[in-house]
A and B are shown apart, each in its own frame.
Chain A
Amino acid sequence: MALNPMDIYKLLPKTNCKKCGEATCMSFAFKLLNREKKLEDCKPLYEDKKYERQRKKLEEMLKPLEEATETGLIVDESLCTGCGNCVVVCPVHVEKDPKGAAIGNGPTIDDPILRVEDGVVRVVNMKACRRYGKNRILCVVCRENCPSDAIRFLEG
């Protein structure tokens, strides 16, 4: 299921108390999703008893954040059939590995982003992904071409 900042915001105190260092609860929700802030940074949520139910819901909701890689990629190996579509379509692979992944073969470079290992896709080198770091591009090509939903991103 996709996480969206609005759903997170709805469960926050919505008081804009600024204790987390953000101007508004909405901006805190965005930063939570980007993993620039942690839920614990919202002091009232933990100190005030009336927010307990909301806090538990949020903790449940934000669990996928821990599973996801730095780029927000979540791979469910149990759904993967190892078709390799993601490996071949990845624009970074096409650029770096024109004689391997770009023409349909397994990657011939040592540090591809994704690789099919033991019949399922594995993340090898997330740092090369276009979604990594500050100047990222929210590329979703691998997810778009995954027929089994084995690849997801936090934002959906």
Chain B
Amino acid sequence: MICPGCSCLCDDVHIKEGKVFNACRRGEGIFSKYKENRAVARVDGREVDADTAIEKAVEILKDSKNPAIYGLDTTVVEAQKLAIDVAEKLNGYIDDNSSFCLGELVEAVLKGEVPTATLDDVRDNAYVLVYWGTNPYHSLSRHMSKYTYYPRGKKRPRGYDEDRFLVVVDVRKSETAVLAKKNAKFIRVDDDAELVDSFIKVIDGRAAKYAKEAGMVINEMKKADFNVIFGGLGLKYGLKDLNKFKEMVKKLNEVAKVYFIPAGFHGNMRGFNETLFERVGYVNRYSFRDGRSDEEFSFTELLKNEKIDTALIIGTDPVYSLPFEVSSKLGKIKTIVVDPRMSFTARIADVVIPSAVSGLEAGGTMVRSDGIRVKLEPLEEREVNDVYILSRIKEGL
């Protein structure tokens, strides 16, 4: 089975005699608890049937002047396509969590500004692995053991023992940094931009703050024809200007072969970025009315500045995940929640449409963090899933 827990989309998970095998703690939680705390169809706090809730949602969306669609990172590509259709029909805004997650990094990859590779190539070929501003131990537990540092690959038969070199860049000694022992380097930085700068300067033969560390990593990179940098949120928020980083990757490629892969995120965040990119040329925070993407069209900004009157929230829980000053504004607008769980947002929503858990109760396609499309293998098929609900809403409009 495919685990939809995060963008690793592990394909070796199986359930036998009520036990979940091979999934990490987070993935296991999805498989063992998906029947708990399920959403029930509601309109203005009253319990109704799903069809009534969908009809009410269509009615609200029709009356809305400034609607936004938000979420979609945990659902399948097929549903994401329909959500984009709905946003287009409504002439509204569409955004997902990537606007404050790794959207920018995915955009750089999709636009071809940095060379990229697949995780399977990484397993078979990669020598230097740089984890920059990410702690996969917490966010993507099996990333290192399944795809990168630990497994033995075709060209790397001795795995982490001798055939890999691990570099961890972080502001603190994270659990991943603890693993950087033999054939490894932990670089503690105060400012990511200084390290980026150091890499560029070292290649040019100039003095720099992290010259020693950067020089060592570059020397290791020169030993192999396949090296990779995994960038996480620490890289995104540590740098004010991503262009400098892209320049660094380009420069590194003059002396060695270096690829870049966004570290990881929600199960199908990259799927949303790719789907929207194919349609409109932007990866997130898009306004169909203005025909462009901008910081001000991100869901959090729209909400904060009270630019929207209706929100269609699919598979995410902004009341739980966004700051109170932002999420509290949801109380002022009409909210429609499509979610398998009775999330905090569902509890305050005007309309709740219960859906199926993608990957367990609904099939479809998800996109792994490296861009590989993975077909889900659900345990069962529920009729009322995200695709069904969104196609009904699309027809209703």
Which residues from chain B contact A36 at a C-beta distance below 8 Å?
Answer: none
**B23 in complex: contacting residue of A80, A94, A119, CB < 8 Å:** A119
Cross-chain contact B138 with A105 (CB below 8 angstroms): no
With the chains together, A104 CA to B137 CA distance in Å?
A: 15
Would you list which residues of chain A between 82 and 123 have a CB under 8 Å from chain B? 82-85, 87-89, 94, 98, 102-106, 115-120
Interface positions, chain B 5-22, Cβ under 8 Å from A, are: 12-14, 19-22
Q: Does A145 contact B (CB under 8 A)?
A: yes
Q: A102-B152, A104-B150, A145-B150 are in contact. Are A118 and B28 (CB under 8 A)?
A: yes
Residues on A with C-beta less than 8 A from B175 are 147-148
Pair A119/B151 contact, Cβ less than 8 Å: no
A105-B12, A147-B179 as given contacts; A82 in contact with B21, CB under 8 Å: no
Most buried by B among A80, A81, A119: A119
Whether B206 sits at the interface, judged by CB under 8 Å, is no
**CB-contact partner of B151 in A82, A103, A118, A144, under 8 A:** A103
> Which of B87-95, B139-147, B324-332 sits within the interface?
B139-147
**Interface size range of chain B in the complex:** 35 or more
What's the count of A-B pairs with C-beta under 8 Å? 99
Give every chain B residue within 8 A of A120 (Cβ-Cβ). 25
Verify B22–A116 contact, CB threshold 8 A. Answer: yes
| A115 near B21: Cβ-Cβ < 8 Å | yes
Q: Chain B nearest CB: distance from A144 CB in Å?
A: 7
B12 touches A83 (CB 8 A): no
B163 to chain A: closest CB distance in Å? 13
- Contact partner of A83 (CB less than 8 A), chosen from B19, B145, B153, is B145
List, in ascending order, chain A residues with CB within 8 A of B144's CB.
83, 85
Task: Report, as a range, how many residues of chain A touch the other chain.
Answer: 20 to 34
Q: Within the complex, what minimum Cβ distance (angstroms) separates B154 from chain A?
A: 9
Contact B27 A104 (CB under 8 A): no
CB closest residue in chain B, given A85:
B145
Enumerate chain B residues within 8 angstroms of A117, measured Cβ to Cβ.
19-21
- Cα(A93)–Cα(B142), bound, Å: 17
Indicate if the CB atoms of A118 and B19 lie closer than 8 Å. Answer: yes
| Min CB gap B6→A, angstroms | 12
List residues 92-140 of chain B with CB under 8 A from any CB of chain A.
123, 137-138
B32 contacts partner chain A, Cβ-Cβ < 8 Å: yes
Given contacts A103-B151, A145-B179, 17 further A-B contacts (CB under 8 A): A80-B25, A82-B26, A82-B27, A84-B141, A84-B145, A85-B179, A88-B146, A103-B123, A104-B146, A105-B22, A116-B24, A118-B20, A118-B28, A119-B23, A119-B28, A119-B32, A147-B137
- Chain A residues in the interface with B (C-beta under 8 A): 80-85, 87-89, 94, 98, 102-106, 115-120, 144-145, 147-148
Pick 25 A–B contacts, CB within 8 A, sort by A: A81-B141, A83-B137, A84-B141, A85-B144, A88-B150, A88-B151, A89-B145, A89-B150, A89-B159, A89-B160, A94-B152, A98-B152, A102-B159, A104-B146, A105-B12, A106-B13, A106-B21, A106-B22, A115-B21, A115-B22, A116-B22, A118-B19, A119-B27, A119-B29, A148-B137
